Amino acid sequence: MQENEFPGWHGTTIIGVKKGGKVVIAGDGQVSLGQTVIKGTARKVRRISPGGSDVVCGFAGSTADAFTLLERLEAKLESTPGQLARGCVELAKDWRTDKYLQKLEAMLIVSDGEQMFVITGAGDVLEPEHDVTAIGSGGNYALAAARGLMETDFSAEEIARKAMAIAADICVYTNGNLTVETIGG
């Protein structure tokens, strides 16, 4: 490693599952620096209440960057009450065009209980197929597990918890200390 290279933060698995009129967003609690776990109880899923509405957000990436994005999203949603898709698109536009925001390194999963979106710094606002999505280092593991469980009788929360447990067993940057938020129904 060169002298000016920082090993970088790794970690986080966030999953969103929509089933039975409910959306569950769950995230693990591990934060790693290089090969070292520096915190196992981080809270990467939060509830925001712009204009009295209820929105659940999960984030992967830099915590400070994610909080900046959550604050911006909350402001967008306050100016467009009840219009989650529009607020997400407005945030993604700003993220792509604002020189300050372009440097932010995070991804978000957001839901109002009816709609669910993944927002990226590339300007993407993606509505997931199959009513499940995941981001972060263990996201692909959790996504595959949840997709396989969607055909069962399990609830959205049960699917999210089981998928996160599978991701935690496979991804060294993911632990089983979950924050789970449910919205809708």
Owner of token pair 């209440």 = 49
- The two structure tokens encoding residue 89: 């698109």
Q: Which of 12, 133, 174, 182 is catalytic?
A: 12
Opening angle at CA 142, ends 67 and 43, nearest 5: 30
Contacts of 142 (CB under 8 A, 6+ apart): 13, 15, 134, 163, 164, 166, 167
Q: Could you confirm whether 36 is annotated as catalytic?
A: no
Provide the phi-psi class of 8: left if phi over 0, else alpha when psi is between -120 and 50, else beta.
Answer: left
Strands 125-126 and 9-10: unpaired
Catalytic annotation, residues: 12
